[in-house]
Every structure is written in structure tokens, then in C-alpha cells.
Amino acid sequence: MTHRYTIGGVAFLVDDELPDLDTATFADATLRVRFVDESALDDSDDLGMRRVAGPMDLTGVIDPVAGECGLPTLSADPVDRAWQLRQMAPIFSAVLNRLVLHAGAVEMDGCVVAFVGPSTAGKSTLARFLSDRGHGFVTDDLLPIRFDPAPSTPVERRILPVAAICLLTRSATDTVTAEPLTAMTPVSFRPADADVEGNSFSVLFATLATELGDPMDRLRAIQKSMGEGKRLFRSMNSADIPIFTSIIALPVVLPHLLRLSGRTRPTFNVTVSNVPGPRERLFWNGAPLEGMYPLSIVTQGQALNITATSVADSLDFGIVACRRSVPSAQRLIDHLDEALVELERCASVG
């Protein structure tokens, strides 16, 4: 069975089913993709195929006339193959006389207006913002640009002229928010008067201290906020906790009951939770458990949920987000890594 995936205006036909690739976007060119041994790529010149180099030492071959391309078999894992194709797709598109930009773009008056810039500059956010206000959404990820004459066929008329490419930059004055973001955090604990085994469950609202520029200051502020909330819960008895939980949950539940979710200002910005897992390594038929990624939920008006689960000496993060409100949510993984590196660097200096 052949599967069709569209990247940068080119439809790639693959025998394998690959995850997290677009299957619906319009394309005006087609390439048949084959994963072959590296030795077969060495014979590409004899087969009339052009060898091309991509990022991170990736390579491939392409025959634009025959509409075929090849990639070396680095892994049989569909996730790895999807990543490999995504990295090489802009290179193949360039051979087909296309420039692929990492950009957000909308349609205005029959033309495309694109937004390019560094990560977190707001490309996707601006594209979605303008789309919600009546402008045609084009992309929030990859934008193919052709260097061809004016379109002549009905299919080619779906290709719009580019009116402007806007460069977005980050200012040093807006790296932190004026008001701190707030996280809703589920907590489990034992009441002060508990006489049986088991935990009680409630939620805390904690500051994320995003108004502070120093990572260590933010961490201390978050620890203080969570600590104060936990001390409050530890002082309550079994009768106080349900009443307190109902009161603080009312602003969250009431908009859902009145069907006003998403129309009122939320009481918190993101859900962050931690679920402790087994402290020892687990095996199944001798195979070690390498990761355990939690799957949580999002609701109307609350578009992002981050949950961490511990297994032995590792910590796995599960990110669930609304695709429209939080486009390209996979980039949060890179941001989490960057934030951890920054925090480690500050801790080592201190």
C-alpha cells in the first residue's frame, strides 16, 4: 500500500506508513520515495540519479525527471524514517526548483504574506491569529516557493504569488512577561487527621514566575509558591479539604457548565503535573522499559497539559496540546531541553 505525505508543496509516495506527516496539504509535484541500502546509493550516478546532501550528514538521491528519490535505510523505525524524510524534503524540493522556508503564512488579497524568524519569534502564533480574523491560513511550518513563470493550468492557479516576506525578531525587552503565568497542579497528600492509609486529592495554583529573568530566581519562586500551598493542605482535616477544593475549582468548572469555556479569562495558563512511577527498572520478557510517557487531557479554554512521569532514575514528559491553539507543539520538547541546560549552567556557576 502506498501512502502520500505532503512536505513543502511536494507529495512524497512511500510504501511505509509514517507518523506525524501531513497527508492533506495541496502539492503540485510528486516524488516516489524508496528506502534502500547505502550501497545502492553509491550506484546512483550509474542510474542517472543525482546525489544530494542534507543537514546532519544526511544524504539522498533524486531523479527529478522520473519523479523518484531514495534515502539510505538508517533505521526500520517509522518514527526515524519520518524524521529522515522531513529533514531531506526541503533538499529534494530545491532540486525541483523550489525554496522551502520555515515560516508561518496567510493569504491576503490573493497573495501570500509570510513570516520568518528564529524559533519562538511568533511565526505560527501570528499566522493563526490572522487566520482567526478572516485571512486564509496557508502554513505554520513549511512554505514552498517556486521560481517558475506565471501559472497557466487550472492546477497551477492554486499557487499564489508571494506579496511579502516579513522578518520577525525577538526584542531583549520582551523576553519575560509583565505578569507571571500560572500553573494548575494536581496534588496528592494525607490530611492532618488521617487515621487510615491512602491519599487525598486536590489542586494547587502556583506561579511560574515568568516575570523573572533569572532561571534560579524563577525556580526558587516556584518552589516557594508550591511549598506554601502544600503547607496549607497539610494543616487541613478531612472535612476541610473537599470544601476548599470545591471553592478553588469553581472558576474552572463554572465556565464549562455555562458553556463559556474559551470566552472568559482562564484562572490558570497551563496544567503541570507529576506522577511518580516505579523506583526500580521494569522488564517485560527480558526487554527493559526505556520510557513511560503520560497521556493527559486538554479542555476548551485550557490548551496545554504537561505531565512528567518518573521511572527509576529517568523522568519522561508527556505534552498534550490543542493543535490549533498551540501549533507545532513538538517544539516545546526543544524548549524544555534548552531550559534544563540553562538551569544546570546557572546552578553550576552559583
Q: Return the C-alpha torsion angle 168, 174, 178, 181, nearest 10.
A: 70
Q: Return the C-alpha torsion angle 28, 32, 37, 41, nearest 10.
A: -60
221 located within any domain? yes
Looking at residue 69, its pLDDT comes to 92
Are the C-beta atoms of 182 and 269 separated by less than 8 Å?
yes
Contact residues for 197 (Cβ-Cβ < 8 A; gap 6+): none
CA separation for the pair 233, 72 (Å, rounded):
57
Residues 199, 304 within the same domain:
yes
Looking at residue 252, its pLDDT comes to 73
Q: Show which of 142, 170, 198 is a domain's final residue.
A: 170
CA separation for the pair 146, 161 (Å, rounded):
9
Phi, psi dihedrals of residue 35, rounded to the nearest 5°: -95, 120
Bridge partner residues of 101 (DSSP): 143
Looking at residue 154, its pLDDT comes to 42
Structurally, the chain folds into a number of domains equal to: 3
Looking at residue 133, its pLDDT comes to 83
H/E/C letters for each residue in 89-104?
HHHHHHHCCEEEEECE
CA nearest neighbour of 88 among 46, 156, 17, 34: 34
334 located within any domain? yes
Looking at residue 45, its pLDDT comes to 62
Residues 314, 208 within the same domain:
yes
Residues 207, 165 within the same domain:
no
CATH code assigned at 281: 3.30.559
CA separation for the pair 209, 203 (Å, rounded):
18
Residues 205, 85 within the same domain:
no
CA separation for the pair 17, 82 (Å, rounded):
9
177 located within any domain? no
165 located within any domain? yes
Q: Which domain holds residue 9?
A: 3-96
Residues 229, 288 within the same domain:
yes
Residues 22, 58 within the same domain:
yes
Q: Write out pLDDT tens, residues 80-116.
A: 999 999 889 888 988 888 788 888 888 888 888 988 8
User: Which regions of the chain are under pLDDT 50?
Assistant: 150-157, 173-174
Residues 146, 263 within the same domain:
no
| Global confidence as pTM | 0.52
Residues 163, 226 within the same domain:
no
Residues 74, 159 within the same domain:
no
175 located within any domain? no
Residues 132, 89 within the same domain:
no
Residues 238, 290 within the same domain:
yes
Q: How many residues does the chain have?
A: 350
72 located within any domain? yes
The count of other CB atoms within 10 Å of the CB of residue 192 is 13
Residues 163, 240 within the same domain:
no
